[in-house]
Amino acid sequence: MDNKLNFWTRIDKLIASHEVIIDRPKGSTHPIYPEIVYPLDYGYLEGTSSSDGNEIDVWQGSMTAKTCVAVVCTVDMLKSDAEIKLLVGCNNDEMDIITRFHNDYDYQSGILIKRNEFDSDMHLSSSV
């Protein structure tokens, strides 16, 4: 198995084996910075750990398949950290929204790394 496929397979195993907790639903505000409004459901994988000492962050999209379709690598100058955020079940429009969200503030930047649709035999379909 090549490294890229192995990465996505392991991410999918993390998602399958840990509950996604949405603690910041779409439209809610950040608990410290009320000017930040979450454009999609945002939360974490319960029982995991990330570089900031908290759980791994997750953006939850509208697609029915709960597969990781991309990751966003972020740098936050306020927190002096860099971390990865998983995009689960997000369509292309939602991925664009998340990318803009992580680049709309002067103190943070993010890049999206999209999963190649051929890396998975799972079919991603939008829910209506």
Tens-place pLDDT, residues 39-69: 999 999 999 999 888 999 999 999 988 889 9
Q: Looking at the domain assignment, is residue 124 inside a domain?
A: no
CATH number of residue 71's parent domain? 3.90.80.10
How does DSSP assign 49-84, residue by residue? Answer: --TTSSPEEEEE-SBSS--EEEEEEEEETTTTEEEE
Q: Looking at the domain assignment, is residue 126 inside a domain?
A: no
What is d(CA 87, CA 71) in angstroms, rounded to the nearest whole number?
6
Q: Which domain holds residue 53?
A: 3-119
Q: Looking at the domain assignment, is residue 75 inside a domain?
A: yes
Between vectors from CA 84 to CA 57 and to CA 17, what angle results, nearest 5°?
Answer: 55
pTM score, whole prediction? 0.86
- Confidence check: pLDDT of 1 > 60: no
Q: Looking at the domain assignment, is residue 33 inside a domain?
A: yes
Q: Looking at the domain assignment, is residue 101 inside a domain?
A: yes
The CA-to-CA distance between both ends of the chain, in Å, stands at 35
- Domain count of the chain? 1
